[in-house]
């Protein structure tokens, strides 16, 4: 990430190998002032697999002429983009067939004119092709690497006429995901979150706003929606989704660095399940709002559950969500979507019944895995609290293939390990029963979101420790111990 007029990027980035068949490279994009010859770096970082970069130990640009004063080079060794240079060399591609023919001698003047024309035309064509290739891959590499190059905030182009331009300043990237990057941003006197979708993920941006704009979606356990915008045009177009900002971030990231108390766990689990219940619920129209159809999330996981300041949860990321309009088919032709480690057995098998209830049960399977993540980091377990682990991390590792998940979940019917130390606490033991009923192999046997809400709410309000003592947890997470004459 290179600020304007800064001579070199100060940070370092480690190129992550996501695909064994593809290679990583380093790259630099810079401009040079034709008058002062001053060089300004615009981008530095990891580049996608590109045969043009193979075997290049140094970052050198060889093209003769540039378009808009931009230069680009890539290389194939560690830290090779720390230094870069422009060594122009004329490149001429032969347009003749491979068979050799004898040509009649050409007059020198004519030959010189053709050579000069080729020297001018070929670099221009190569420059256009190179920048088109670079921009497309810059946008498309999200699909392979779940990351995008990050730029300092720059003056923004005009939006399309049908969308209003808000005075938003992007401050810092907080997360990267399948469909783009989430920025912490300043909107007037308010801090907001801006999810930036590249042009090829416009459909996900449209799906998200369609979900947020449904009636009755302004709910405390659903991420608060502010608006959408389109920025830029053509290949440089970006689509913005503006929502409330929550400093604690996702439940997944929070659990990596923190443990949770029993009241906190109950508060998170209850609000998370209530958000899922509201999403799944079909709500008839009333005087204030219209009809809300049932919605399946289809990518429910701890990364898509955000924590508010009061430790309640809200659900986010509806890019894969499916709306079930009454009397209409769901219209989905590909059911095997979502995050592999959270996929239900029927999704991994490709054996989904394309009905509303089938998709809602898929969400509940994933809900059981998130409850397991919460339980694994709860302080009431009777034993040491281990490091945070993703569901099935012990069984399939950090980067499972579809085949890995099919073998573990479908064929072996494995589930994340529930420790005996969890069962020694009556409340946590009940949570374990709940998660097991959520991830049941038989989809029809799984609990509904409303049932999970009811169970966790009951646990949060009253946990029987013995025959005479009752612990009650009020809405502020304060613990009140009372004596009961009998239970």
- Residues labelled catalytic: 299
Residues 79 and 100: their CA atoms lie apart, in Å, by: 43
Asked whether the beta carbons of 483 and 469 are under 8 A apart, the reply is yes
Whether the Cβ atoms of residue 342 and residue 320 lie closer than 8 Å to each other: no
**How many CB atoms neighbour CB 32 within 10 A?**
15
Alpha-carbon distances, residue 450 vs 269, 321, 420, 454, 466 (angstroms): 12, 19, 27, 6, 28
Q: How far is the C-alpha of 147 from the C-alpha of 48, rounded, in Å?
A: 11
- Is the separation of the CB atoms in 160 and 96 below 8 Å? no
Dihedral sign from CA coordinates of 390, 395, 401, 407: negative
Rounded (10°) angle between helices 356-376 and 262-280: 170
- Cα distance between residue 448 and residue 59, in whole Å: 57
Q: Helix 262-280 to helix 449-461 angle, to the nearest 10 degrees? A: 150
What is the rounded CA–CA span in Å between residue 344 and residue 346? 6
What DSSP letter does each residue of 368-434 carry, written as one string? Answer: HHHHHHHHHTBTTSSSPPPPP--TTHHHH-SS--HHHHIIIIIIS---PPPPHHHHTSHHHHHHHHH
Q: What residues pair up with 229 in beta bridges, in sequence order? A: 240
CA-wise closest residue to 292 among 331, 330, 328, 325: 325
What residue ranges in 35-123 does DSSP mark as E strands? 39-47, 59-61, 70-75, 84-86
Residues in a beta bridge with 185 = 170, 192
For residues 240-279, one letter each, b for 16 or more C-beta atoms within 10 angstroms of the residue's C-beta and e for the rest, the string is bbbbbbbeebbbbbbbeeeebebbbbbbbbbbbbbbbbbb
Of 226, 203, 158, nearest to 337 by C-alpha is: 203
User: Is 206 in a helix, a strand, or coil?
Assistant: helix
């Amino acid at each position: 990430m290179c600020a304007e007029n800064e001579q070199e990027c100060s940070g370092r980035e480690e190129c992550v190998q996501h695909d064994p068949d593809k290679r990583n490279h380093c790259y630099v994009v810079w401009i040079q002032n034709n008058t002062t010859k001053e060089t300004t770096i615009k981008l530095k970082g990891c580049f996608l697999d590109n045969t043009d970069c193979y075997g290049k130990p140094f970052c050198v640009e060889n093209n003769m002429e540039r378009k808009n004063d931009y230069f680009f080079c890539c290389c194939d060794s560690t830290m090779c983009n720390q230094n870069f240079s422009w060594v122009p060399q004329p490149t001429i591609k032969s347009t003749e067939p491979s068979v050799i023919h004898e040509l009649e001698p050409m007059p020198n003047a004519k030959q010189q004119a053709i050579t000069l024309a080729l020297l001018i035309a070929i670099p221009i064509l190569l420059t256009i092709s190179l920048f088109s290739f670079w921009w497309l891959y810059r946008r498309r590499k999200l699909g392979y690497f779940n990351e995008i190059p990050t730029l300092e905030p720059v003056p923004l182009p005009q939006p399309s006429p049908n969308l209003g331009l808000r005075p938003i300043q992007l401050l810092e990237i907080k997360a990267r995901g399948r469909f783009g990057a989430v920025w912490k941003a300043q909107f007037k006197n308010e801090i907001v979150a801006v999810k930036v979708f590249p042009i090829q993920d416009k459909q996900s941006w449209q799906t998200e706003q369609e979900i947020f704009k449904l009636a009755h979606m302004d709910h405390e356990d659903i991420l608060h929606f502010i608006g959408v915008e389109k920025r830029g045009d053509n290949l440089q177009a970006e689509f913005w989704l503006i929502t409330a900002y929550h400093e604690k971030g996702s439940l997944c990231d929070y659990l990596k660095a923190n443990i949770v108390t029993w009241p906190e766990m109950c508060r998170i689990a209850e609000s998370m399940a209530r958000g899922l219940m509201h999403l799944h619920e079909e709500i008839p129209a009333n005087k204030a709002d219209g009809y809300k159809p049932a919605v399946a999330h289809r990518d429910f996981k701890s990364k898509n559950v955000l924590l508010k300041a009061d430790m309640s949860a809200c659900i986010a990321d509806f890019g894969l969500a499916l709306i079930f309009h009454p009397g209409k088919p769901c219209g989905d032709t590909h059911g095997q979507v979502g995050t592999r480690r959270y996929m239900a057995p029927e999704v991994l098998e490709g054996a989904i019944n394309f009905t509303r209830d089938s998709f809602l049960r898929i969400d509940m399977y994933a809900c059981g895995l998130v409850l397991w993540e919460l339980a694994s980091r709860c302080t009431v377990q009777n034993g040491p609290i281990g490091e945070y682990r993703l569901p099935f991390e012990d069984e399939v590792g950090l980067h499972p293939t579809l085949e890995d998940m099919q073998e573990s979940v479908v064929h072996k019917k494995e589930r994340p390990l529930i420790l005996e130390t969890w069962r020694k606490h009556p409340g946590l033991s009940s949570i374990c029963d709940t998660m097991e009923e959520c991830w049941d192999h038989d989809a029809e046997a799984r609990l509904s979101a409303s049932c999970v809400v009811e169970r966790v709410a009951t646990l949060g309000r009253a946990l029987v420790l013995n025959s005479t003592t009752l612990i009650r947890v009020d809405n502020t997470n304060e613990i009140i111990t009372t004596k009961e004459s009998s239970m």
